[in-house]
């Protein structure tokens, strides 16, 4: 008896594309994603995206909250994965941006509270 594994492979590919989309195209502070955007990226209908998200949540590939009223999902965590060279470069750029924001915040705090912060 032969089993057709094509639907399973397609579904796994959609799960993979969802996690890649979350990791690569969204900053950690911008993880509220419209279901329509995910539908475009995965080439699924919005109803199928909801099913994909529920499966991803139940398999602990992501953690988050689906808001059916607003048609969004807020992803608070995504399972780590191996990164390619381009993804490492993108991550480096995002970390450089973050370091700049932290430095700006430090300078602001030092300027506002010179007596509390020792240089």
Rounded CA-CA distance 77/63 in Å is 5
Q: What is the pLDDT of residues 8-63, one digit of tens each?
A: 778 888 888 888 777 776 666 778 999 999 899 888 899 999 999 999 999 888 89
Say if residue 67 is in the same domain as residue 91.
Answer: no
Say if residue 43 is in the same domain as residue 86.
Answer: no
Rounded CA-CA distance 119/113 in Å is 11
The number of beta carbons lying within 10 Å of the beta carbon of residue 64 is: 19
Say if residue 64 is in the same domain as residue 10.
Answer: yes
The answer to whether the beta carbons of residues 61 and 15 sit under 8 Å apart is yes
Q: What is the pLDDT of residues 68-98, one digit of tens each?
A: 999 999 998 888 777 778 878 888 888 889 8
- The residue range of the domain holding 34 is 1-79
The answer to whether the beta carbons of residues 117 and 109 sit under 8 Å apart is yes
């Amino acid at each position: 008896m032969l089993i057709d594994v094509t639907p399973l492979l397609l579904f796994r590919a959609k799960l993979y594309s969802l996690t890649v989309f979350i990791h690569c195209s969204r900053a950690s502070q911008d993880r509220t994603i419209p279901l329509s955007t995910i539908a475009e990226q995965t080439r699924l209908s919005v109803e199928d995206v909801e099913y994909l998200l529920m499966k991803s949540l139940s398999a602990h590939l992501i953690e988050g909250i689906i808001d059916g009223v607003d048609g969004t999902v807020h992803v608070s965590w995504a399972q780590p994965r191996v990164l390619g060279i381009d993804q490492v470069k993108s991550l480096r750029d995002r970390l450089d941006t973050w370091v700049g924001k932290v430095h700006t915040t430090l300078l602001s705090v030092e300027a506002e509270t010179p007596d509390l912060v020792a240089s």
